[in-house]
Chain A
Amino acid sequence: MKKGDIFVIAAVCILAAALAGVFFALKKDGKTVLVKVDNEVVCEYPLDTDREIVLEHNTAVIRNGEAYMREADCKNQICVKSGKISKRGECIVCLPNRVILEIK
């Protein structure tokens, strides 16, 4: 291990931290959640009313100003494990079913 190694590793980590800081500062609470299937907007709902969005392969839920994917019929379940989103620009993606939840 050379000094240069430590330097580049530290540099990338600092860059990552700086980017994370910038992104976090830029994040704003979103107002609505956009549901896209096959890259086309299917519907848009306000985040301040709780509701359930039933799609062909997925079920999304809006509760307490946050949106999350409750069910998906795919085998990897990545979208279900993605957690809750509420900030502008955040999204949950279900690649197998080509479903995207995006906060606007």
Chain B
Amino acid sequence: MSSEQSYTRNQIKKISLYAMLTAVCIIIGYVESLVELSFIAPGVKVGLSNSIACVLVFYGDIKGAFAVNISRILLTALLFGSPVSLCFALAGGIISLTVMALLKKCRFLSVIGVSALGGALHNVAQCAVGLVFVGRGVIFYLPVLLAFGVACGAAVGVLSKLILARIGKSEKNVR
């Protein structure tokens, strides 16, 4: 990057928007980490910050969704996490976003269904990482993680739907 102006106005706008959304995600994530849900399975969270990625996907900005989500994961790992927690978060984040980006085109699913499946697969991916890092015993968490993932994903979907309606992207004109 040189000192001369090399970005267009639009690009600068986008970069600032992504930066802001990333910051919002990290704050949501931090607030969530204060809520103790470890009786379900170690380290589970509702993942409300995923609604931002979900909104971006349905807004049609899949690249932006990946950018925000991956920066969120990297920064959260640097601030509060460890290399192992980074692997868990990256696997979950990338898989769920990919699934949501693909399912978005599915005509019989709304934001809620797409997000619910994203949530479920997020937890399946994390379970797979757990198999590598922790051991085979992790597989016993899979049923509860699936159910919890789908419930949280649906909740995130409802939230995303509300946000999309507020920013003038109701489902009809998204498609």
B20 CB–A CB distance under 8 Å: no
How extensive is the interface on chain A, given as a class? 20 to 34
- Among candidates B42, B84, B110, residue contacting A5 with C-beta atoms closer than 8 Å: B110
Number of residues in B with C-beta < 8 Å to the partner? Answer: 30
B window 118-146: CB within 8 A of A = 120, 134-140, 142-144, 146
Q: Is the CB of B108 within 8 A of A100?
A: no
Contacts of B55 in A (CB 8 A): none
Is there an interface contact between B143 and A23, defined as CB atoms closer than 8 Å?
yes
Of A4, A15, A102, which contacts B113 at CB under 8 A?
Answer: A4
What's the Cα separation between A93 and B138 when bound, in Å? Answer: 10
A16 near B147 with CB under 8 A, answer yes
A25 in the interface (beta carbon within 8 A)? no
The residues in A between 49 and 104 inclusive whose CB is less than 8 angstroms from any CB of B are: 76, 78, 81-82, 89-91, 93, 95, 100, 102
A82 to B135, Cβ gap below 8 A?
A: no
Q: Is the CB of A42 closer than 8 A to any CB of chain B?
A: no
Asked if B109 and A5 make an inter-chain contact with CB atoms under 8 angstroms apart, the answer reads yes
Point out residues on A near B: beta carbons under 8 Å.
Answer: 1-9, 12-13, 15-17, 19-20, 23, 76, 78, 81-82, 89-91, 93, 95, 100, 102
11 A-B pairs in the complex with CB atoms less than 8 angstroms apart? A1-B112, A3-B108, A8-B109, A9-B113, A9-B116, A12-B120, A16-B143, A20-B144, A23-B139, A81-B39, A89-B140
